[in-house]
């Protein structure tokens, strides 16, 4: 997929946004799910992310940086909203659901999909233990640790996503790991 061409196409035909959606939904939902370990919240965060991207795609300027990084940035902001209040209110999603009367949270197979993912999560015990510890850290450390180890992003990619300098990302990562070590050793 040539994103630069696709972005130009989207300017002329917003329906082409569907190609971006199809290509990256799994990445964003997966990221939100690994961050929150909650199927319903991850689903809402992914939906809100794409809705915000759809509304704001006209302002996106191509600078040889994948749209995926921008989507990660939006998703990270939404995830941090969730961690700040421990509940998630997808504002844009609510507005569109109200307008069109379609409630995505009432997906007919949501229950079976939720059970399937929860069962899968139980098979990742080591991840669940680490996730519980990581979520006790400040969100700025959670962001870099998750992107580095869950999403396998390089320092440079994390810097692009979070719009921080590479040195800042390295420093946050180092301090985050140190704090996580303190939690693991009970210091």
**Residues in touch with other proteins (CB under 8 A):** 14-15, 17-18, 21, 25-26, 29-30, 33-34, 43, 46-47, 50-51, 54-55, 96-102, 104, 107, 109-110, 113, 116-117, 120-121, 124, 126-127, 130, 145, 148-150, 174, 177-178, 180-181, 184-185
State which residue, 124 or 156, has the beta carbon closest to other proteins: 124
To other proteins, the closest distance from the beta carbon of 61 in angstroms equals 22
Comparison of 86 and 119: residue with beta carbon closer to other proteins: 119
Residue closer to other proteins by CB (options 124, 165) is 124
CB of 63 to other proteins, least distance (A): 25
Interior angle at CA 31, CA 29 and CA 36, nearest 5: 95
CB of 156 to other proteins, least distance (A): 18
Q: Provide, rounded to whole angstroms, the least separation between the CB of residue 89 and other proteins.
A: 17
Distance CA 116, CA 96 (A): 28
d(CA 52, CA 40): 18
| Rounded alpha-carbon distances, angstroms, from residue 40 to 4, 36, 127 | 33, 10, 19
Q: Is 117 exposed, middle or buried (0-12, 13-18, 19+ CB in 10 A)?
A: middle
CB 8 within 8 A of CB 115: no
- Cβ(25)–Cβ(50) under 8 Å? yes
Compute the least distance from the CB of residue 59 to other proteins, in Å. 15
């Amino acid at each position: 997929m040539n994103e630069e061409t696709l972005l130009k196409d989207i300017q002329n035909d917003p329906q082409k946004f569907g190609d971006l959606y199809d290509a990256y939904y799994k990445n964003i939902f997966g990221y939100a799910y690994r961050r929150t370990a909650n199927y319903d919240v991850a689903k809402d965060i992914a939906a809100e992310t794409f809705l915000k991207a759809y509304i704001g795609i006209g302002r996106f300027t191509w600078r040889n940086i994948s749209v995926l990084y921008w989507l990660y940035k939006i998703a990270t902001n939404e995830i941090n909203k969730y961690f700040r209040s421990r509940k998630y209110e997808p504002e844009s999603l609510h507005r569109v659901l109200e307008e069109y009367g379609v409630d995505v949270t009432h997906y007919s197979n949501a229950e079976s999909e939720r059970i399937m993912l929860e069962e899968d999560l139980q098979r990742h015990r080591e991840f669940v233990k680490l996730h519980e510890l990581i979520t006790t850290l400040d969100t700025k450390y959670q962001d870099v640790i998750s992107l580095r180890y869950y999403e396998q992003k390089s320092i440079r990619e994390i810097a692009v996503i979070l719009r921080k300098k590479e040195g800042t990302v390295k420093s946050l990562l180092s301090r985050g790991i140190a704090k996580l070590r303190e939690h693991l050793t009970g210091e």
